[in-house]
């Protein structure tokens, strides 16, 4: 059996999904009679990630002390490295008391079915000042225009902490049956393929030529056995391309431009935080849990607007304590097609180039072209990929 990288803070994965069908049925029946709350989309994403083993070794939602400790020092109170709080924040707890078992209802599915059962160990309220401090620590800003900040501060100030048992994976299994995978399933796929050096690539967007070539570069330079393109399937900010369109475009690229059995296309059920450096750390942590040994981080990873410096998400890894994470980083520069060299290069590796020597297009320009039914130049986007995106914009 292939020896894979160890999960974070644990000898083995700790998925909180109730895998035994009999036990799950019993718990579902019990849950129907429990007091219930409709949780936020963020808390639902946390439940899905906990269920799939991505958030190993956590056993549920953090309490206030752990959340504040994570904000201040990226460690829980018992010293576990963790970059962002994993919370179930609510506005109203009138019917709940510590010690209760409660049903957590899914806000993202019609009828709000029960997603998980939580044993409430504590109910604690953050002051407005504590929420403000936490927001600054996680997002690097308290600006309500930042989509992650707006989402975070809207959830409420009261944390319900305690372990959870997860009953399903929300809408992700139904909507993305070929793509949504748990950390457990991805480890199994990697082991079955016999890979030991695995590069992970995070995306919330379709992949253009530069992304594709960056993955090839990383695989070549790291002598990797395989690549996992791991896409976010949860909520994005308005204007981002929906997951099903991204999925189709990425699969087409893999089919045509990667050798067989060298790349897996998978996705995970979580909403984008847009938290830049802190989210980059979280991304690396749960890629280690799914079995990747290396993780590509490029320019403005998990960023939005101008809130973060271009390489801040790489630099934060340099300040981690020894052994915080086992997964290794592949630090990438901005990649673009060089007209001089007739290939995609990392811009820092072409010091004799000027800006005019590269094919550079802004996201806005690309969206306008696609919306008008014009394919971006082939140096920028594969024609087969561009076609899928044009069809989306025209519809």
Dump pLDDT digits (tens) for 324-373: 999 999 999 989 999 999 999 999 999 999 999 999 988 788 888 988 99
Q: Which domains does the chain have, with CATH numbers?
A: 21-173 (3.10.400.10), 177-394 (3.40.50.620)
Q: What is the mean pLDDT of the segment spanning 128-149?
A: 97
In sequence order, what DSSP letters do the residues of 346-387 get, joined into one string?
EGGG-TT--GGGEE---HHHHHHHHHTT-PPPTTTS-HHHHH
Catalytic residue among 24, 157, 197, 204: 204
pLDDT above 90: residue 137: yes
Average pLDDT over residues 65-69: 98
Measured CA to CA in angstroms, residue 357 lies from 335, 339, 343, 345 at distances of 13, 5, 11, 11
Catalytic residue flag (residue 204): yes
Based on the residue annotation, tell me whether 24 is a catalytic residue of this protein: no
CA 310 from chain center: how many Å? 19
Given the residues 197, 205, 251, 367, the one annotated as active site? 205
Query: Model-level pTM?
Result: 0.96
Nearest to 28 by CA among 105, 110, 141, 139: 105
Give pLDDT tens digits for 277-328. Answer: 999 999 999 999 999 999 999 989 999 999 999 999 999 999 999 999 999 9
């Amino acid at each position: 059996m292939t020896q894979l990288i160890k999960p974070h803070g644990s000898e083995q994965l700790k998925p909180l999904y109730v895998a035994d069908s009999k036990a799950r049925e019993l718990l579902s029946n019990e849950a129907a009679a429990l007091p219930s709350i409709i949780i936020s989309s963020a808390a639902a994403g946390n439940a899905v990630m906990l269920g799939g083993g991505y958030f190993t070794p956590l056993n549920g939602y953090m309490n206030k002390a752990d959340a504040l400790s994570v904000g201040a020092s990226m460690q829980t109170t018992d010293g576990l490295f963790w970059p962002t709080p994993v919370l179930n924040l609510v506005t109203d707890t009138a019917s709940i008391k510590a010690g209760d078992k409660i049903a957590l209802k899914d806000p993202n599915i019609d009828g709000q079915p029960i997603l998980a059962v939580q044993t409430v160990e504590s109910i604690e309220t953050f002051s407005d000042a504590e929420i403000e401090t936490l927001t600054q620590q996680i997002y690097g800003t308290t600006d309500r225009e930042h989509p992650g900040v707006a989402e975070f501060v809207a959830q409420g100030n009261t944390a319900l902490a305690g372990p959870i048992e997860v009953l399903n994976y929300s809408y992700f299994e139904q909507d993305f049956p070929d793509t949504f995978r748990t950390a457990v399933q991805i480890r199994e796929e990697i082991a079955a393929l016999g890979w030991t050096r695995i590069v992970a690539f995070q995306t919330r967007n379709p992949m253009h030529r530069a992304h594709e070539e960056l993955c090839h570069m990383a695989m070549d330079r790291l002598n990797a056995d395989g690549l996992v393109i791991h896409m976010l399937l949860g909520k994005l900010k308005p204007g981002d391309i929906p997951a099903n369109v991204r999925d189709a475009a990425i699969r087409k690229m893999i089919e045509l431009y990667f050798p067989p059995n060298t790349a897996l296309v998978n996705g995970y059920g979580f909403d984008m935080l847009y938290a830049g450096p802190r989210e980059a750390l979280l991304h690396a942590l749960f890629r280690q849990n799914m079995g990747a040994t290396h993780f590509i981080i490029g320019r403005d990873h998990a960023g939005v607007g101008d809130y973060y410096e271009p390489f801040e998400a790489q630099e934060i890894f340099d300040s981690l304590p020894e052994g915080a994470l086992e997964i290794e980083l592949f630090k990438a520069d901005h990649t673009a097609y060089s007209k001089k060299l007739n290939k995609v290069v990392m811009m820092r590796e072409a010091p004799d180039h000027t800006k005019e020597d590269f094919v550079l297009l802004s996201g806005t320009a690309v969206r306008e072209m696609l919306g008008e039914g014009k394919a971006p130049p082939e140096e920028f986007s594969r024609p087969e990929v561009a076609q899928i995106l044009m069809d989306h914009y025209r519809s």
